[in-house]
Structure formats: structure tokens, C-alpha cells
Amino acid sequence: MFITLLIVTFIVATIVSVIVARAFSKPIDQILARIIGDEISGAWRRYIMFALYVTGISAGVRIYDLEQYITAPQFKGAQIVELTTDRWILEVYRTIIGALQGIAWVLLVFFIFALLAFVVVRVFEMRKPKKEETKAA
């Protein structure tokens, strides 16, 4: 039963990661194309997508929390938690929320750095015409 739960949480976390990664694929492409504007932006996009998948799956499949179903508690007389239908529903819900939280953090960090990079690119673009105007005059 535990192995089935582990497989189900892995599949659910993978599905959530794929859906979110596909939803943010185009905005990430546009941002990287604007900031980097080179062929290397494709490599960066692939890395960001990889990071989304890894983070989503690892945050969704919480091994330490799932250990409660196979490991006896440290307290004397305590029993292993039983996997009931209610527990399954709770674990699937935790998997979805955990995957979304992990992916949200990755995207937040990416978008913060992208915003900073965009500001730097914009400042250099604004200075470039001023330098060309002074040279032309």
C-alpha cells in the first residue's frame, strides 16, 4: 500500500509540474529572449523547465512525511499510521499543494532576477542613444 501511495504521489506531482511548466513556458521564453536575446536563451529555458520539474516533484513527494506509514513512532506504545481512504485523499492534496508551492518559489526567484535583469538591460538601452547623439553632434 505504501509503494502505491509513493507511486501515486510521484505521478500527481509530475502531472502538476508538467501543467505548470507548460503554462509558464511561453512567458519564460519571452522574458529570456528579451533579456538575453541570444541563442543561449534556449539553454536557459531548458534549465528553468528542468528546475521546475525537479522542484515540483521533490516538493510534492515528501518522503519524510510518507515515512510515517512505514516507520514505527518513537513513542512507546504508539502505532504506525494506517493508510485509509481519508489519508489517501489528504496525501494527494498535500502532494498537489506541495508541488505548487515548490514551483511557485522557483518562479518567484526567476521572475525577481528577470525583473532586475530587465531593468539593467533597459538602463543600458536608454544610455546607448544618448551616447550616439553626443557622438553625432
Q: How many CB atoms lie within 10 A of CB 123?
A: 10
Specify the pTM: 0.79
Instruction: Give the span between the Cα atoms of 14 and 120, in whole angstroms.
Output: 35
Which CA distances in Å does 80 have to 10, 26, 110, 113, 121? 22, 46, 40, 44, 56
Tens digits of per-residue pLDDT, 73-129? 777 766 766 778 888 898 899 999 999 999 999 999 999 999 998 888 888 888 876
Scan for cell 529570456, then name that residue. 32
Q: Are 66 and 5 in contact (CB under 8 A)?
A: yes
C-alpha cell recorded at residue 5: 501511495
Tens digits of per-residue pLDDT, 4-13? 888 999 999 9
| Beta-carbon contacts of residue 103 (< 8 Å; ≥ 6 apart) | 16, 17, 20, 21, 52, 55, 56, 59
Q: Are 69 and 80 in contact (CB under 8 A)?
A: yes
> Where are the domains positioned within the chain?
2-110
| Beta-carbon contacts of residue 118 (< 8 Å; ≥ 6 apart) | 31, 34, 35
pLDDT-derived band of residue 64, with 50, 70 and 90 as boundaries?
Answer: confident
